[in-house]
Amino acid sequence: MGIQFDIPTATMKSVQFNPDVSKKPHLVHCDVPKVTNPKEVLLKVIAAGVCGTDIHIIHGSYPSRKGVILGHELAGVVVDCGSEVTTLKPGDRVVCNPNRGCGCCNLCKVGRYNLCKKESSASTVGIFRDGGFAEYCKVGESDLMKIYDEIPLLFAPLCEPLSCVVNSWHHVEPVAAGARIAILGAGIIGNLYASLFYFRGYRNVVVSEINESRIEICKSMGTGFEILSPATIGGQLEKGSRQPFNLIIDTSGNAKAIEAAFEWLDIGAKFCAFGIPNPAHKIEIRPHILVGKEIQVVGSMAECQTFPEAVDLFQAMYEAGRIVPEKLGVKIFNLEQHEEAFQALASGEISKALFSISDELKN
Ligand SMILES: [Zn+2]
Ligand SMILES: [Zn+2]
């Protein structure tokens, strides 16, 4: 793109979290990281997304490295490359796949790095390695994917949650044409999933949600899908005014919602557990349903080798008007507004907070 990128030498703004120092993340001025390894790349971060996982980290219910720069959904422009980097050059527009297991355990060796339990300072960007809530971020060449020129860098961090949706999609496909589908929860994952179903021609989709702001956001997406409370859906099924579902995707992680939804499944249906539940919560189901209806239950954890497909899908859905960030409930903040951004996301008032970190090149 004909722009020269100077390698910065001054300090940079970052949002770091260290529970030993404070229960809240803080804006810290720190040194710009330097490329020291031949396979490393320095990014000028243009935008980074705040995710429910960041809220869990702050609440202490998800592990992270103390003092880490948060932000595992990030997009930017390459400014410096190690001597052995061959696939990228300064000026390239990229999105980061933050997920990398230890690389050594058997799960990692068969490519299931999303299930690796040996987290270390070498694993997930923005959780164990320093992440994207900063003006610059140093990652590995293999963590980055080039993106299409048509995808604005400001919105490109959404490729990360979309890659998780794609992973779940692979667990539930094939989905028959005309399938009756329920999505539990209208956060960003539920909304992206609803958009994907619409994009792929499914129209018989119901979204189950109780948060008023989320209901409004979901309506504004213009899919025409019904958005109802779980009590209403349950009541309709009991009365027989609604047919049971062929596929239910839980994005809420809410044990009560999951428990209720097992009664909504039709013969031969699939249930996909995708939202991350509280590890201590339990549910009661009638196992008779599983046998008598030949139900398939599948779990889906984050992203697994689905990032390239997510980048292509993002491009296709963006061009088709099925990823319109404002309609999905995305709101833009700057790093100084980090407290406000975390708060707005935690309350459900928005579905995704994006930090716009640099005003240059965001389109
Ligand atoms: Zn996330
Ligand atoms: Zn591993």
What residue spans define the domains of the chain? 11-155+325-356, 164-299
pLDDT digits (tens, 9 = 90+) for 42-68: 999 999 999 989 998 999 888 899 999
- Strands 352-356, 11-17: parallel, antiparallel or unpaired by DSSP? unpaired
CA distance 17 to 127: 10
Q: Which ligand is nearest to the CA of 187?
A: 1
pLDDT digits (tens, 9 = 90+) for 179-201: 999 999 999 999 999 999 999 99
Which residues 6+ apart lie within 8 Å of 99 measured at CB? Answer: 113, 114, 124, 302, 303, 304
Cβ atoms within 10 Å of 347's Cβ, excluding its own: 10
Q: Which ligand is nearest to the CA of 160?
A: 1
Report residue 122's pLDDT band, with 50, 70 and 90 as the boundaries.
low
CA distance 255 to 253: 6
pLDDT digits (tens, 9 = 90+) for 270-286: 999 999 888 899 999 99
Query: How much distance in Å is there from the Cα of 112 to the middle of ligand 2?
Result: 8
Q: Which ligand is nearest to the CA of 111?
A: 2
Query: Do 11-155+325-356 and 164-299 have matching folds?
Result: no
Question: What's the whole-number mean pLDDT along residues 146-156?
Answer: 94
Query: How much distance in Å is there from the Cα of 122 to the middle of ligand 2?
Result: 11
Query: How much distance in Å is there from the Cα of 51 to the middle of ligand 2?
Result: 23
CA distance 187 to 236: 24
Residue bearing tokens 């999933």: 193
pTM over 0.85: yes
Query: How much distance in Å is there from the Cα of 304 to the middle of ligand 2?
Result: 13
Question: Could you list which residues have their CB under 5 Å from ion ligand 1?
Answer: 51, 53
Query: How much distance in Å is there from the Cα of 103 to the middle of ligand 2?
Result: 5
Q: Answer yes or no: are the C-beta atoms of 140 and 55 closer than 8 Å.
A: no
Q: Which two tokens stand for residue 296?
A: 């398939």
| pLDDT on residue 123 | 79
Q: Answer yes or no: are the C-beta atoms of 330 and 341 closer than 8 Å.
A: no
Q: Is the peptide bond preceding residue 98 cis, with omega within 30 degrees of 0? A: no
CATH architecture of 164-299: 3-Layer(aba) Sandwich (3.40)
| pLDDT on residue 1 | 40
Average confidence score pLDDT of the chain: 94
CA distance 207 to 234: 13
Question: What's the whole-number mean pLDDT along residues 87-102?
Answer: 93
Q: Which amino acid is at 3?
A: I
Query: How much distance in Å is there from the Cα of 158 to the middle of ligand 1?
Result: 9
Residue bearing tokens 């994006």: 354
Which of 171, 182, 38 minimizes the C-alpha distance to 112? 171
CA distance 218 to 147: 27
Query: How much distance in Å is there from the Cα of 164 to the middle of ligand 1?
Result: 9
Q: What fold characterizes domain 11-155+325-356?
A: Quinone Oxidoreductase; Chain A, domain 1 (3.90.180)
| pLDDT on residue 5 | 67
155 pLDDT exceeds 60? yes
Relative orientation angle of helices 307-319 and 188-199, to the nearest 10 degrees:
70
| pLDDT on residue 2 | 40
Q: Answer yes or no: are the C-beta atoms of 45 and 136 closer than 8 Å.
A: yes
Q: How many residues does the chain have?
A: 363
Q: Answer yes or no: are the C-beta atoms of 27 and 13 closer than 8 Å.
A: yes
Q: Which ligand is nearest to the CA of 55?
A: 1
162 pLDDT exceeds 70? yes
Which of 348, 121, 29 minimizes the C-alpha distance to 213? 348
In Å, what is the CA distance from 117 to each residue of 107, 143, 263? 9, 19, 33
CA distance 225 to 205: 6
Which of 242, 153, 161 minimizes the C-alpha distance to 205? 242
Q: Which ligand is nearest to the CA of 105?
A: 2
Query: How much distance in Å is there from the Cα of 189 to the middle of ligand 1?
Result: 10
Select the more confidently predicted residue: 297 or 63. 297
| pLDDT on residue 362 | 67
Cβ atoms within 10 Å of 4's Cβ, excluding its own: 7
Query: How much distance in Å is there from the Cα of 51 to the middle of ligand 1?
Result: 5
Query: How much distance in Å is there from the Cα of 303 to the middle of ligand 1?
Result: 10
Query: How much distance in Å is there from the Cα of 107 to the middle of ligand 2?
Result: 6
| pLDDT on residue 121 | 54
| pLDDT on residue 363 | 66
Report residue 77's pLDDT band, with 50, 70 and 90 as the boundaries.
very high
Which of 129, 58, 20 minimizes the C-alpha distance to 345? 58
Q: Which ligand is nearest to the CA of 106?
A: 2
Query: How much distance in Å is there from the Cα of 118 to the middle of ligand 2?
Result: 6
pLDDT digits (tens, 9 = 90+) for 233-259: 999 999 999 999 999 999 999 999 999
Question: Could you list which residues have their CB under 5 Å from ion ligand 2?
Answer: 101-102, 105, 108, 116, 118
Query: How much distance in Å is there from the Cα of 119 to the middle of ligand 1?
Result: 16
Q: What percent of the chain has pLDDT over 90?
A: 86
Q: Which ligand is nearest to the CA of 113?
A: 2
Select the more confidently predicted residue: 121 or 141. 141
Query: How much distance in Å is there from the Cα of 73 to the middle of ligand 2?
Result: 21
CA distance 242 to 245: 9
CA distance 209 to 324: 20
